[in-house]
Structure 1
């Protein structure tokens, strides 16, 4: 009896050891590239000066304290409220579209009877994800260029006046949302497609036997079972609500100074400040500010989702 118990304990211990063996590489990766670099947040509170031959850590520790001076740089800007507003509102729109449009596209793709057509549409939507923002900016410029752009050529050939796209800020909120959605919607659709294919096919078969239409199958089977995936991606995106895609807002807009009131975000603002002053504590302070508020929004969003759909909450 005692021998049998010992054997069971050894088996359990061996299983735990095996699992831990697989966990260790991932834990080491997070330790090296996620937790140890957090030490660099000290730069936000330092007047960092690199000392040749001494290395980063020595230079950071021996630099003079700056207190909250690096944060004052951010909040003393006369445009800071407009910059934060741009960053926040664009991300809200991106999050809402990212939680609705890819889901609809994924459901429609699964309802296509032709597998060849479905695979072709999926590939066409997914390809823009692999393009850099620099390439996308040139594509867009080919359409919006004042003198040689395709759209202005069509307008002038029909007797109209060319539109100064890169000087008119009214167009850019719509252009940026359209370009961002075009680039990322295919990737997100693939995620939801994988989740839909993971749903037990017997549920749909039972629904068809009971006379459920394709629409009812979608509303009462697909959508409810997609809630955990949608909630997870929603929370992960909410954590970056004060971060922005630098390539989208800097490259695609071609850094036009005449449309900055609707295109400048925190990341673009910090980049311009760094190119002018090269004070690295500024960028660290802004990154720290973005992460703190991102964490706060994540906790709030998780609390809201937990009340609506507890199984979709992150924690």
Structure 2
């Protein structure tokens, strides 16, 4: 035991500079990730603001009952379905679009056009989600929105888009792709830039055209990057892009069944209903389910392609 302890201290002393560099990140995670975990206790008490956390009555799993009761109509069912489906589309379609645009940019010869295109694609990332919600409202507003103004100008009737449930998954996905593609593309651009150019030169000598280079060289070499980014994204698959959903939908109950995700549900339970126990119970479920999902997916990846697994 002493030998092990001495070895640990020797390791720390030997690489003290490197460990000191990781200290700020460690402190950050302790303060903002590990200490807040004690709040899980709220999920098992009937919290009273007057009594505080220590003196509020313990209710066991009662806070989970409303969340899971109701059979197939229970909040846990449609919230989990919406959160997972939306995020799967965001992750897969988002990474696919980022990869495609990165490849397209690398094939552009003109330096000025390439830089201009990249800057234009990056710009939406820096637009606030509040502004995104305002843009959507000014497009789809039934009274004076751009869409209805055009329809009426062409002799048609206005459309109450905020009352049409089925169309909002498409609208949300389009706004997500518009805002995130440019920034996510940077990682793929960096990966492609690091590829050995001699491989491409050899392919050209052998008679490969641009499309064959992309198919047989670029895409296979991008595969590890794609898998790694997808796995990292799966770690937050139960996090529902709160800012996007909240600012696009606001509190339009007409659209909740098709657009409500765990994050927006937790927010309303906390701020509208002041139900700290239920919101914490939903948060606990969100974290545990996400953790199990990441472990499961990584195990599948490790069996199929061990070199691309995270751990």
**Range of TM-score over shorter length:** 0.7 to 0.9
Aligned partner (choices 50, 59, 62) of residue 69 of structure 1: 62
Residues 12 and 60 of structure 1, relative CA distance in 2, 3 Å threshold: closer
- Give ranges in structure 2 of 5+ residues lacking alignment: 1-9
* Residue matched to 1:48: 47
Question: Structure 1 CA distance, aligned partners of 2:100 and 2:155?
Answer: 40
Residues 261 and 50 of structure 1, relative CA distance in 2, 3 Å threshold: closer
Question: Structure 1 CA distance, aligned partners of 2:240 and 2:215?
Answer: 33
* Cα deviations by residue, 1:42-76 (Å, 9 ceiling, x for unpaired): 22222233458xxxxxx434433221112113113
* Residue matched to 2:97: 101
Compare 143-152 and 196-205 and name the one that shifted more.
196-205
Aligned partner (choices 144, 148, 153) of residue 144 of structure 2: 148
What is the Cα deviation at residue 93 of structure 1? Answer: 1.1
Give me the CA root mean square deviation: 2.2
What is the Cα deviation at residue 193 of structure 1? Answer: 1.0
Question: Structure 1 CA distance, aligned partners of 2:214 and 2:69?
Answer: 51
* Residue matched to 2:232: 236
What is the Cα deviation at residue 107 of structure 1? Answer: 0.5
- Give ranges in structure 1 of 5+ residues lacking alignment: 1-10, 53-58
With structure 2 as the length reference, what TM-score do the two structures score? 0.88
What is the Cα deviation at residue 12 of structure 1? Answer: 9.0
* Ranges of 4+ aligned residues in structure 1 off by more than 4 Å: 11-15
* Residue matched to 1:127: 123
* Residue matched to 2:19: 20
Question: What secondary structure, in the 3-state scheme, does the structure 1 residue paired with 2:167 have?
Answer: helix
Compare 139-148 and 305-314 and name the one that shifted more.
305-314
Question: Structure 1 CA distance, aligned partners of 2:80 and 2:36?
Answer: 26
* Residue matched to 2:7: none
What is the Cα deviation at residue 258 of structure 1? Answer: 2.0
Compare 198-207 and 120-129 and name the one that shifted more.
198-207
* Cα deviations by residue, 1:120-164 (Å, 9 ceiling, x for unpaired): 111111111111221111111221111211111211121111111
Question: What secondary structure, in the 3-state scheme, does the structure 2 residue paired with 1:252 have?
Answer: helix
Contact 1:91 1:241 in 2 (8 A): yes
Alignment coverage as a number of residue pairs: 299
Pairing of 1:1-315 with structure 2 (within 5 A): 16-50=15-49, 59-76=52-69, 78-80=73-75, 81-315=77-311
Contact 2:12 2:19 in 1 (8 A): no
Contact 2:266 2:283 in 1 (8 A): no
Contact 2:87 2:237 in 1 (8 A): yes
